[in-house]
Structure 1
Amino acid sequence: MAPPGGGPADRSFDAVVLAGGRARRLGGSDKPGTPVGGRPLIGWVAGAAAGAGRLVVVGPPRPGLPDAVVVREDPPGSGPVPALRAGLPEVRAPWTVLLAADLPFLRASHVAALLDAAAGAGAGGGGAGAVLVDQDGREQWLAGCWPTGPLRAALAAYEGGSLRGLLGPLRPVPVALAAGERPPWYDCDTPDALVHAERLAAPYDP
């Protein structure tokens, strides 16, 4: 049984998916709605976060996600920090999984690994949270898990516009996962990246 009020032993989480960017490098198209492997990019991410108590989507409503809580940053497309400010008030769980909407190879096992690492860090009295790192050790700030209370406090005190500036001082645990040809941090920011993702994606079988 989880301790009252949450805590390291309480692994329940809500997911905040940032899906309102302008996708300039894709000509302003609806990147989260772009299909890869027969499923919209945001559908893959929502599937990876299927264990969330609440799925909070910051962006326009999505017909394929009828149970999502949908909010918008102000103004729309103003960046990840304003988007997080819009989404975080909807979180009720002790842990917040923060994700981009364009990660076609992210899976529930990867989210679970982030949650385990973040909970372990909290229990050990170290930093707060966990963040996915790529093959070069670079933090992927839109693929992480954070204790909701410290994240709220950090956001309330932060006046900048950089996720690194916001989240880095929380000293998250870096999580390096086996990548193979479908790395969980692979995002689709360019037309070439989308073509490559489509080539690698297994067909979606609902």
Structure 2
Amino acid sequence: MDAKPLDFDAVILAGGRSVRLGGVPKQSMTYDGDTLLHRAVAAAGGARAVVVVGAGLGNLPAGILSCREEPPFSGPAAAIAAGLATLQTTGGSSARMTLVLACDMPNVRPAVAALRKALEAGGTAATPDGVVAVSEDGRRQQLVAFYSTDALQRSVAELAAKGSLINGSVRSLLASLDVQPVAVPAGSTADVDTWDDAAALGVAGPEPLSGFRSSAAADDLGGRA
């Protein structure tokens, strides 16, 4: 019997300061002919809705939502909260799971596929709050993960009630969630934090007038995006 397709939305984070890159926006850097943001959107193919949280996003494919955390540069916890809030404005019920994905991993698609496979094959009985990618060195990659939407929304509300959402860390936001680690293909979560990282991965600086070369990734999005 075939596994049931996963019901999910996606929040893609693209709003950091890129300090170690001299302020060059990671999302506009390029790899294999596409921006890193384009590749992240493609990795989220199959989502009911996708929201990109950040500024200077270029030309997003049709149907892709965008927003910004308030105040700007107030951290990933606030960015995730802003993305969830934007998804709620699209109408209809929320998807059961939410993919949270940073935009700075050029080869992340196999990692997302491995997480989806784990969820689709095993259901949620053993993974009540989701699954998180574990890289080849054993580190959990909390910005490559599927989380229960309800659990994620509760965590946002709890952190906000403590006055700790603004400038809050991902670790603090996700501390109460019970997630299952899933080993993902080697190199699939390698990210670009420095120019040395970019050189090692074959990532180039942004092209003039950079943006999405096509809206092909949007073709994978269904329903309410």
TM-score scaled by length of structure 2: 0.77
Aligned position for 1:3: none
Question: Which letter does structure 2 place at the counterpart of 1:171?
Answer: D
- Residue 146 and residue 126 in structure 1: after superposition, are their counterparts in 2 closer, same or farther (change >3 A)? closer
CA RMSD of aligned residues (A): 2.5
Instruction: Give me the whole-angstrom Cα distance separating, in 2, the residues matched to 1:121 and 1:157.
Output: 29
- Residue 66 and residue 195 in structure 1: after superposition, are their counterparts in 2 closer, same or farther (change >3 A)? farther
- Residue 184 and residue 95 in structure 1: after superposition, are their counterparts in 2 closer, same or farther (change >3 A)? same
Instruction: Give me the whole-angstrom Cα distance separating, in 2, the residues matched to 1:21 and 1:93.
Output: 26
Aligned residues of 1:130 and 1:145 also touching (Cα < 8 A): yes
Number of residue pairs matched by the alignment: 192
Aligned position for 2:199: 195
Aligned residues of 1:81 and 1:162 also touching (Cα < 8 A): yes
- 4+ runs deviating over 4 angstroms: 118-122
Instruction: Give me the whole-angstrom Cα distance separating, in 2, the residues matched to 1:138 and 1:105.
Output: 17
Q: Which has the higher contact order (CA 8 A, sep 6+)?
A: 2
Aligned position for 1:101: 103
TM-score scaled by length of structure 1: 0.83
Instruction: Give me the whole-angstrom Cα distance separating, in 2, the residues matched to 1:78 and 1:118.
Output: 31
What is the 5 A alignment of 1:57-68? 57-60=52-55, 61-68=57-64
Aligned position for 1:171: 178
Instruction: Give me the whole-angstrom Cα distance separating, in 1, the residues matched to 2:124 and 2:189.
Output: 26
Aligned residues of 2:115 and 2:131 also touching (Cα < 8 A): yes
SS at 1:123's partner residue? coil
Q: Tell me, which stretches of 5 or more residues in structure 2 are unaligned?
A: 88-93, 204-212, 217-225
Q: 1:75 aligns with which of 52, 71, 80?
A: 71
Instruction: Give me the whole-angstrom Cα distance separating, in 2, the residues matched to 1:57 and 1:100.
Output: 10
Aligned position for 1:124: 125
Q: 1:22 aligns with which of 9, 14, 17?
A: 17
Superposition deviation, residue 117 in structure 1: 3.1
Aligned position for 1:35: 30
Superposition deviation, residue 90 in structure 1: 2.7
Aligned residues of 1:117 and 1:173 also touching (Cα < 8 A): no
SS at 1:169's partner residue? coil
Identity of aligned residues (%): 38
Question: Which letter does structure 1 place at the counterpart of 2:201?
Answer: A
Instruction: Give me the whole-angstrom Cα distance separating, in 1, the residues matched to 2:135 and 2:141.
Output: 7
1:86 and 2:82 are equivalent in the alignment: yes
Aligned residues of 1:121 and 1:127 also touching (Cα < 8 A): no
Superposition deviation, residue 127 in structure 1: 4.0
Superposition deviation, residue 163 in structure 1: 0.9
